[in-house]
A and B are shown apart, each in its own frame.
Chain A
Amino acid sequence: MKSFKTLKSIITPLDKVNVDTDQIVPKQFLKLVQKSGFGKFLFYNWRFGDDEQIKSDFILNNPKYKNSEILVAGDNFGCGSSREHAVWALMDYGFSVIIAPSFADIFFSNCFKNGLLPIILSEKIVEKIQHETGEVEIDLENQLIKTPSEQISFDIDLHKKTILLKGLDDISQTLLYEKEISEFEKNSTIPSVL
């Protein structure tokens, strides 16, 4: 996984609550067997109408936000299906940071496996950031969001922060605990399926 670097970008305000992963990447695009190329399907039914006609009233279709790397959304972002394709689509499209008052659990956990930074802030602050038109800097190391007018600090679990900053591969870390896992298996009461 790539390590997370400080970035500077304008924000894309997505003024919706309960954005579910069915909207982030609709089911007809879940049939690919690789992780790449999901960006073109991001928010597909909101971006495109019948015959793939571009819906000009949807925020992502405004050219102004084309290079934005920060998505700011409402409460309970990423609810519903566990599909990690949602995270792959957001990242492949170009987002590196999602800011919201809260995230659904599985989506939140999927973010950290791929280097996407979800930032939780109070509803009030999220609303303020949604109106920010200038460039915003995300400094994970110092846990700061720097807008043209102020600095906002955010909380993040130290373990998760380290994973993102170092771009750690979870599995190789876990396999260092081989001895502990084998020991656990020796004492387990749950039998094998077969």
Chain B
Amino acid sequence: MGKTLFEKIWDAHIVVEKENSPSLIYIDRHLVHEVTSPQAFDGLRMNNRSVRRPDLTIATMDHNVPTNNRTLPILDQTSAVQIQTLEKNCKDFGIKLFDIHSSNQGIVHVIGPQLGITLPGSTIVCGDSHTSTHGAFGALAFGIGTSEVEHVLASQTLWLEKPMPFEIRVEGKRKNPYAVTAKDIILSIIKHIGTSGGNGTVIEYRGQGISDLSMEQRMTICNMSIEAGARAGLIASDEKTFEYLRGREYTPKNYESLVSLWRENLKTDHDAKFAKSFTLHIDDIAPQVSWGTNPGMTCDVTESVPFPEDYSKGDPNQKKGAEKALEYMALTPGTPITEIKIDRVFIGSCTNARLEDLIEASKVVKGKKLSPHVSAMVVPGSQMVKKQAEELGLDKIFTDANFEWRDSGCSMCLGMNPDILSPGERCASTSNRNFEGRQGTGGRTHLVSPVMAAAAAIAGHFVDVREMDLN
């Protein structure tokens, strides 16, 4: 019987295999950031251990860095200590760091691919659940906890139980790619399979609806695999993948010979078997807006806020969950989504802050003004994205419309830096989690695509972007 892409990558990375117990898996790339690593480096020190492969390890600071004026000192002392700790740890253990002043600084999942560090067929880990982003390149990439960060630093391996392969197919050709984006595809998938629908699996996204996507759009899809509970999500590499990585700063010197290997081997065999499968047709996907407090609580922009009994389909726990969510979100069932007014807009995060995202959002904003009762900010995913966007004049389009234009970082996706919602504020956000308090205690998050966020910023409430002329 043939193998799935995931199984091929897994098998190629087994260092030790024993019956009925986890396998020791080799890790090709380890990305490190300031929040989940200090305790891991401490553990190494306490046990007199070194970093086994500093040459496979890259660090940056993204989670709590301020996004305004990098020439000023960091006011939040605990953030400053965490950032200094990463600097010291990288220096002591010989790890390459893109620090706050580096032109390569950015959200770790944006800079990995952008610098050619992410490679097809490789295993990639980071102490961050959105590591699944790198799966867009046909890599097996997943988030780990701090103990595992320490384990990888010390041994370049992890003990892992093999997840099951899960096929998700998106069939058909998009009629309006500007309005129905990768974000809408992945939110639709999560809405259907649920936030634990992918637990214990690695998802492979397949079908024309996926292969038609650009690399940056594929990253948006894989990024949110974790919101469906999956350990990782991946997409088979193709010519688009190889072209994207060609000639980047850290693309390997023997790249073309690697491409020949990948072209031949890195795909699911036609007779491979998946443990489960789910199919969605692209024509059934409309622009999505989340209404609740987890990413599965999402509906079409043309719908209304659901009644808990309809949403829960008879499950009393889900009904209770929906009631709590609506109470937190201060929403009344039956309210049309397009009548929900917003206070804030956040365009950013490892889900949707790449150059294409900003280009698409700028098309909506160009020549218009922010709704007077809304404040909005654009936080590019990396300093390189910021520079490229400025070369295209996007900063001007946004600032002319009264949006703030910031430096890169995770920013208001999780609000560890000063970019947070005030209690009760309602935000249209291109990020990945609408959990209670995620963007600030008491803040209310609606997950949307960059064009939907931009359109809401202008209108002051949600609008169906399919009704706009985006060309």
Please tell me if the beta carbons of B36 and A84 are within 8 angstroms of each other in the complex.
Answer: yes
Known pairs A170-B151, A171-B151, A174-B157; A82 contacts B128 (CB<8 A): yes
Please tell me if the beta carbons of B321 and A18 are within 8 angstroms of each other in the complex.
Answer: yes
B49 at the interface (CB under 8 A from A): yes
Known pairs A31-B82, A32-B78; A189 contacts B258 (CB<8 A): yes
A163-B38 Cα distance, complex, nearest whole Å:
24
Q: In the complex, what residues of A have CB within 8 A of residue B82's CB? A: 31, 33
Please tell me if the beta carbons of B28 and A188 are within 8 angstroms of each other in the complex.
Answer: yes
Q: In the complex, what residues of B have CB within 8 A of residue A17's CB? A: 317-318, 320-321
A47-B48 Cα distance, complex, nearest whole Å:
39
Q: In the complex, what residues of A have CB within 8 A of residue B156's CB? A: 181, 185
Known pairs A84-B145, A177-B15, A188-B28; A159 contacts B22 (CB<8 A): yes
Selected contact of A105 from candidates B117, B200, B324, CB within 8 Å: B200
B106 at the interface (CB under 8 A from A): no
Please tell me if the beta carbons of A109 and B117 are within 8 angstroms of each other in the complex.
Answer: no
Selected contact of A76 from candidates B96, B121, B229, CB within 8 Å: B229
B172 at the interface (CB under 8 A from A): no
CB 8 Å contact bits of B198-214 with A (1 = contact, 0 = none)? 01100000000000000
Please tell me if the beta carbons of B435 and A170 are within 8 angstroms of each other in the complex.
Answer: no
Please tell me if the beta carbons of A82 and B129 are within 8 angstroms of each other in the complex.
Answer: yes
Smallest beta-carbon distance A14→chain B, Å: 12
Find residues 62-107 in chain A having any chain B CB closer than 8 Å to their own CB: 74-76, 79-85, 87, 102, 104-106
B64 at the interface (CB under 8 A from A): yes
Closest to A107 in B: B145
B32 at the interface (CB under 8 A from A): no
B144 at the interface (CB under 8 A from A): yes
Closest to B254 in A: A191
Q: In the complex, what residues of A have CB within 8 A of residue B258's CB? A: 189, 191
Please tell me if the beta carbons of B147 and A110 are within 8 angstroms of each other in the complex.
Answer: yes
Please tell me the size bucket of the interface on B: 35 or more
Find residues 123-168 in chain A having any chain B CB closer than 8 Å to their own CB: 157-159
B438 at the interface (CB under 8 A from A): yes
Q: In the complex, what residues of A have CB within 8 A of residue B57's CB? A: 193
Interface centre among A33, A76, A192, A194 (most CB of B within 10 A): A33
A45-B47 Cα distance, complex, nearest whole Å:
36
Smallest beta-carbon distance A51→chain B, Å: 12
Q: In the complex, what residues of A have CB within 8 A of residue B145's CB? A: 82-84, 87, 106, 109-110, 113
A35 at the interface (CB under 8 A from B): yes
Which A residues fall within an 8 A CB radius of B? 15-18, 20, 22-23, 26-28, 30-35, 45, 50, 74-76, 79-85, 87, 102, 104-106, 109-110, 113-114, 157-159, 170-172, 174-175, 177, 180-181, 184-185, 188-194
Known: A16-B324, A110-B147, A193-B56. 20 other contacts (CB 8 A): A20-B435, A27-B438, A33-B42, A33-B81, A34-B38, A76-B196, A80-B227, A104-B196, A104-B229, A109-B148, A170-B151, A170-B159, A171-B43, A180-B15, A181-B157, A184-B26, A188-B28, A192-B55, A193-B58, A194-B55
6 nearest A-B pairs in the assembled complex, by CB-CB distance: A113-B147, A33-B38, A84-B145, A110-B145, A192-B55, A31-B78
Offer 19 A-B interface pairs, CB within 8 angstroms, sorted by A: A18-B195, A22-B435, A27-B415, A27-B438, A28-B416, A31-B76, A32-B78, A33-B39, A34-B38, A34-B39, A80-B129, A82-B127, A82-B145, A84-B39, A102-B196, A113-B147, A177-B16, A181-B157, A194-B250
